[in-house]
Amino acid sequence: MLVRRHLETMVFTYLVEELRCGDIAVAGCEEYGDWTRTLLDWGTCVAKVEEFCAQVGLQDTTHLRQQLTDIAAEVDEGYRPTPT
């Protein structure tokens, strides 16, 4: 027995994935507005990062940069050059 809601869910889930990866396109989509015009410019985004991180409980990028530096130092310590 075919359940219409299940079929629709399956079809639209598949369609979303195909649209996302570019394997399928919608004819005439150029007629709709350009969604990229609604994006913030990079300068505005950078200015809002600290406030956003505080609102969602994330640490700012200073911590991430330090964490990356620490991990890179650990990796460098364990690196042995290949004998030539």
Least confident of 10-19, 35-44, 53-62: 53-62
Confidence of residue 13 (pLDDT cuts 50, 70, 90): very high
Tell whether 84 is covered by a domain. no
Tell whether 83 is covered by a domain. no
Which residues fall within 8 angstroms of residue 40, CB to CB, at 6 or more apart? 48
Q: Please give the tally of structural domains in the chain.
A: 1
Tell whether 34 is covered by a domain. no
pLDDT of residue 10: 95
Tell whether 15 is covered by a domain. yes
Tell whether 17 is covered by a domain. yes
Tell whether 45 is covered by a domain. yes
- Asked whether the predicted pLDDT for residue 22 surpasses 90, the reply is no
Which residues fall within 8 angstroms of residue 53, CB to CB, at 6 or more apart? 59, 60, 61
User: Is this model's pTM higher than 0.85 or not?
Assistant: no
pLDDT of residue 27: 83
Tokens representing residue 57 in the block: 């409980």
- Residue from 69, 64, 63 nearest 77 by CA: 69
Containing structural domain, residue 60 = 4-28+39-78
What one-character-per-residue DSSP string does the chain give? ---HHHHHHHHHHHHHHHHHHTSS--TTGGGS--GGGGSPPHHHHHHHHHHHHHHHT---HHHHHHHHHHHHHHHHHH--PPP-
- Asked whether the predicted pLDDT for residue 7 surpasses 80, the reply is yes
Tell whether 54 is covered by a domain. yes
Q: pLDDT of 41-73, one tens digit each? A: 989 988 888 888 889 988 777 778 889 899 999
Tell whether 33 is covered by a domain. no
